[in-house]
Amino acid sequence: MAIRIRKKQGELFEDGSPVRHFAVLSNRWELTAARLIEWHREKAGTIELGHDVIKNELGGGVLPSKYFGANAAWLRLAVISHNVLTALKRLALPAELLTARPKRLRFLLFNTPGRLAHHARRLLLRLATGVEGIATYRAALQLLPLGS
């Protein structure tokens, strides 16, 4: 598929040309042209965002040791953390959290205070969040394949 882009205000591209052409190559025949472009643009530029998240938000940019092996393990753990968070967002969390950064997920989900209580021979978890937060937790747990 080819995309032709014309600027409404004339020749505003860097090289002075009035038209730009882009090509999208794919073997996903089931997608319509509009959906294929959306799918392609979801991927475009994501590697820089991924590097930014790993480096600045998951600790991959500050290596803990002077030893190569320890630093390689640290970086691998940061990449695994990024992959797990991405899978969690795509598989179990609501659509509005699909673009959430790790800091937002940490404050919304992971750092929710709670208390374990024993009551009537049962172990209860009391979360300090509203009904929406508990509904998000329950929906996520139902969507995750736990212990099949």
The CB density around residue 85, as the number of other CB atoms within 10 Å, is 20
Q: What does the buried/exposed string (b/e) look like for 130-140 if buried means 16 or more CB atoms within 10 Å of the residue's CB?
A: eeeeeebbeeb
Within a domain: residue 27? yes
Number of domains within the chain: 1
Within a domain: residue 130? no
Within a domain: residue 148? no
Q: What is the mean pLDDT of residues 90-106?
A: 88
Within a domain: residue 124? no
Within a domain: residue 32? yes
Return the CA Rg of the chain: 22
Within a domain: residue 59? no
Within a domain: residue 3? yes
Closest CA to 24 of 7, 45, 39, 46: 39
Within a domain: residue 21? yes
Asked if residue 55 lies in contact with residue 68, where contact means CB atoms within 8 angstroms, the answer is no
pLDDT, position 9: 65
Q: What ranges in 44-130 are assigned the alpha helix state H?
A: 46-52, 68-91, 102-105
Q: Is the pLDDT of residue 10 over 80?
A: no
pLDDT in tens, 36-66: 888 777 765 567 788 889 999 999 999 999 9
Q: What is the mean pLDDT of residues 21-39?
A: 83
Task: Provide the domain limits for residue 19.
Answer: 1-44
Task: Tell me which residue has tokens 């024993």.
Answer: 118
Closest CA to 49 of 85, 24, 14: 85
